[in-house]
A and B are shown apart, each in its own frame.
Chain A
Amino acid sequence: MSKLLNKPFKAFSIYALIILACSIPVYHLVVDFIWLNELDEHNQIIEKRIVNSFNNAHIEGNELNGLLKNWDKLQPSTILTPSNLSIPKPDTIYTIIKQNRYIDHNEIDRFRVLSSIIIINGKLYHLQIETNIEEADETMLAIAVVTLLFFVLMVIGFIILNRRIAIQIWRPFRSTLEKLRLFDLTKQQNVLFDKTDIEEFEELNQSLKKLIDKNISVYNQQKMFIENASHELQTPLSVLRSKVDLLLQNRDLTKEQSEIINAIELPLSRVSRINKNLLLLAKIENKQFSEVEHIELTDVINETLDLFIDYVTEKQISTDKNLSEKIALSCNKTLIEILISNLLINSIIHNEVKGKVYIDFSDRKLTVSNSGKKALESKKIFERFIVSSSETASSGLGLAIVKEICYRYQWQITYTFQNNLHSFSVQF
């Protein structure tokens, strides 16, 4: 994944590189053109100076011949020779590449040459002026180096600007993102996004706000529905149970009828159990049970285990406790009792006949393990109504309640399956 700003940055850099690369020959052409123009002008000025000097000096005959003979020594970059033409011809300008005589080392240089016919004392002379000019490749190289340097500067500038912009401009975006990350539907807190003057972000915030508000309201409605539904179910369930009780009192019951009543009792108690747990979940979610006490966990475990003793013996389960740690927890008494008993109930209901239950409390970590054959789907077991096996008629809410209680106190609950043992651990 690459960051959003890096994408245009890459494109911009490549575009800048292409443009700058294209500019190198263009610069070169322009510089060369200016060079040549300037040198041609320069050569013409020299020519004019020479002609003027001759005309003003009035050098005649032998003196002129002597001067011409030594011309080469006096003016090294010009050649002045008598011309054998009868009429003057227009000036020619060209470039030659040759060995530079005046430099020690062997180097090929480029020269701009003005070849012209001048008139001294009425005679035609051929004047050739050469001026050294920078070679094309050297100019090219210099321009390329400078351009590259600027390109590097530009990229560095881009990176720095990019970072600054990323930090500043994206600040509202980041704050929105952070708020979304921390948002928890079950916590019921409203999300307030920071105001921003960037239109797109403001629009994003508005849309998110709408979405979240809607979600919260749907969630609340759903919660309310479950709560109301289970409330409404309580009375009919009470009536049902009371009718079954009364029916049992009938003296004329046949064996068959009695068995039917018995068969009604089981699903009836399952429904009331589910209802009870749904109400309990709703209450925990609604932040009830807020009173906090100091509670000795080992006491709660021992007391709860005593309550289950009949069920443990009935299933011939052997229990093994290691409750070396004496730690008082600050939490609600009812909730911790529910947590412990749900874990223990779980370890009994889902145990095998003659199975084992291990309870370990050390390093502020409570682990309840029971025998089992196959690992459960650890992601799903804490969800509501995920019943792992069909043989037990559990409510499917026990672990969801455990999870909800852990969530309330920010305790960590984990499930592992090792050595044929299902283990649920709560880190307090």
Chain B
Amino acid sequence: MKILIIEDEKEIARDIVKYLSGQNYVCEVAETYDQAVNKITIFQYDCILLDLLLPDGSGLALLELIKREKRQDGVIIISAKNSIEEMVNGLEIGADDYLAKPFHHSELSARIHSVIRRKQFNSSNIIELNEIMIDLLGKAVKVNNIEVSLTKKELDLLLFFIGNKNRVISKSALAEHLSGDIADMFDNHDFVYAHVKNLKKKLTEAGYENHIKTIYGTGYKWEL
């Protein structure tokens, strides 16, 4: 799947590429408005990551361009915290999601996963992965056709893991994903452990092979 990263900060763009490349994404980077316009008009992407502050133009103008061309590319705005109003503007213009900097790569990856899924399986809303089947609309999870009842947070975690296959996810990234912005107000994220433990237990009890690996107390990894 192809992803375009429109970001003028080289380091950040490079790191995103590195993180995503481990997950079978093909990434391209545009550092300026002009480069971005060139790439968008020529190529088709599954998802575009859009920084609103570009040295030679506004990201919102790019977004308007994408929407004017009636393109199907998913768009996730990634921008600094202080431009929440602009992000909201972006959502109104037609962005699929937004993420405030600084963000965890795992969060970004989960969002990309979810945007692409929505674009591709517009009608079905069902994710299948080995023996597991997740019905997003019905919020139901089945392992080998046996229903597993998960809490909302456990389901969130499961989707987050699936969006970050084979990547180490830090505990704080999980906490932020579960509690939103407020997570970074707290230093102790031990509750994540309890949720992950419950999720693991429920899945293995249903006969699903355990893919969740604990990494030295730092975080977790969904290994396939």
Chain A residues in the interface with B (C-beta under 8 A):
231, 234-235, 237-246, 248-249, 253, 255, 258-259, 261-262, 265-266, 269-270, 272-273, 276, 279, 283, 288, 307-308, 310-311, 313-314, 334, 341, 345, 348-349, 392-395, 398
Contacts and interface: CB of A to CB of B under 8 A. Distances in A.
B102 A262 contact: no
A235 B9 contact: yes
B81 A279 contact: yes
Contact of A258 (B22, B180, B215): B215
Main secondary structure of the interface of B (DSSP, over half): helix
Contacts of A279: 81-82
Given A235-B9, A238-B102, A245-B104, A276 B182 contact: no
A393 B186 CA distance: 8
A310 B102 CA distance: 23
Contacts of A313: 191
Contacts of A248: 168, 170, 215, 218-219
Given A231-B82, A279-B82, A242 B191 contact: no
Contacts of B18: 246, 249
Contacts of A345: 182, 185-186
A375 to B, nearest CB: 24
Interface in B137-179: 153, 167-168, 170, 172-173, 178-179
A360 B59 CA distance: 44
A287 B191 CA distance: 37
Contacts of A394: 185
B16 interface: yes
Contacts of A244: 170
A395 B104 contact: no
Given A259-B216, A259-B218, A307-B182, 4 more contacts: A239-B12, A248-B170, A249-B167, A288-B85
A245 B178 contact: no
B11 interface: yes
Shortest 4 CB-CB contacts between residues of A and residues of B: A238-B102, A242-B15, A310-B191, A258-B216
Contacts of A310: 153, 178-179, 191, 195
B217 A241 contact: no
Interface of B: 9, 11-12, 15-16, 18-19, 22, 80-82, 84-85, 101-106, 153, 167-168, 170, 172-173, 178-180, 182, 184-188, 190-191, 194-195, 215-219
Contacts of A341: 182
B153 to A, nearest CB: 8
Contacts of B185: 273, 345, 349, 394-395, 398
14 contacts: A234-B101, A238-B12, A241-B102, A242-B19, A246-B19, A246-B105, A248-B218, A258-B215, A259-B216, A262-B217, A307-B179, A308-B179, A311-B191, A313-B191
A273 B175 CA distance: 15
Contact of B182 (A238, A269, A308, A314): A308
Given A258-B218, A262-B217, A314 B188 contact: yes
B14 to A, nearest CB: 9
Nearest to A266: B187
B11 A239 contact: yes
A235 B185 CA distance: 20
A249 B153 CA distance: 24
Quick one: which of B16, B101, B153, B178 has the most chain A CB within 10 A? B101
A394 B182 CA distance: 12
B188 A238 contact: no
Contacts of A258: 215-218
Nearest to A398: B185
Nearest to A239: B11
A245 B19 contact: yes
A206 B167 CA distance: 67
A238 B167 contact: no
B137 to A, nearest CB: 22
A392 B203 CA distance: 36
A308 B191 CA distance: 11
Contact of B170 (A253, A265, A392): A265
Contacts of A231: 80, 82
Contacts of B179: 307-308, 310-311
A314 B191 CA distance: 6
B216 A276 contact: no
A307 B22 CA distance: 32
Contacts of A238: 9, 12, 101-103
Contacts of B81: 234, 276, 279
B109 to A, nearest CB: 10
A282 to B, nearest CB: 8
A283 B194 CA distance: 37
A393 B216 CA distance: 23
A246 B218 CA distance: 13
Quick one: which of B19, B179, B180, B185 has the most chain A CB within 10 A? B185
A245 B15 CA distance: 9
Nearest to B15: A242
Contacts of B105: 242, 245-246
Quick one: which of B82, B85, B194 has the most chain A CB within 10 A? B82
